[in-house]
Chains A and B, each alone.
Chain A
Amino acid sequence: DTEVTQTPKHLVMGMTNKKSLKCEQHMGHRAMYWYKQKAKKPPELMFVYSYEKLSINESVPSRFSPECPNSSLLNLHLHALQPEDSALYLCASSDREGGTEAFFGQGTRLTVV
């Protein structure tokens, strides 16, 4: 199983809502990542978790809150987002931080209204 599964595939939320994005992998990978991708732009790294601990935060606003409950799961909690936060949110995993190959999920298309 070389899949990274992200749910939901699409999400529409209001600026006062609280929602969560979920990511799951069963490859035994110990590093997991969140990327944000705006239309016609490359993916931008947001967070890196290594062995369930936050390793990198690329100066992401606090309205985005990551969580790694166990080695297979990665969540991104969203609160008080702005319309400009609308984007494709991608989760990825690799066998270790900086590992050779990163496996990406299909992403969650988020629209903030």
Chain B
Amino acid sequence: DAKTTQPTSMDCAEGRAANLPCNHSTISGNEYVYWYRQIHSQGPQYIIHGLKNNETNEMASLIITEDRKSSTLILPHATLRDTAVYYCIVRANKGLGGGSNYKLTFGKGTLLTVNP
């Protein structure tokens, strides 16, 4: 049973910001929002994660709504190399009452295509 909903595909112009939405309306209080991406024929790559507050690292920013029912991954200046499938995953961290929900379970993701 899917816990997240993402658009199937999105396009973005090179150099512009890419904003990838994710709905997770059934998220529990102890569940984090994780983002991974998978470039064609490669293994998935961790991007960022957050619980309540907005987060930023060298790759991206994560904006989580106040009710935590949705989030947006922002790639500030998309390049051609950012073309990939982006996965939004909600899961607990083990040791925080997560039970089996700490498993990293991938949904269908969003295929982001960055165009020249």
Contact = CB atoms under 8 A, between A and B. Distances in A.
Given A56-B103, A97-B94, A102 B108 contact: no
Given A42-B109, A45-B105, A48-B103, A101 B98 contact: no
A98 B102 CA distance: 5
Kindly state the interface size class of chain B when it binds its partner. Answer: 20 to 34
A60 to B, nearest CB: 14
Contacts of B45: 104
Contacts, number: 53
Interface string A89-101: 0101000111111
A45 B104 contact: yes
Interface of B: prevailing SS: loop
B105 to A, nearest CB: 7
Interface in A42-93: 42-45, 48, 56, 90, 92
Interface in B71-116: 85, 87, 91-95, 98, 100, 102-109
The 4 closest A-B pairs by CB, nearest first: A98-B94, A104-B43, A98-B102, A42-B106
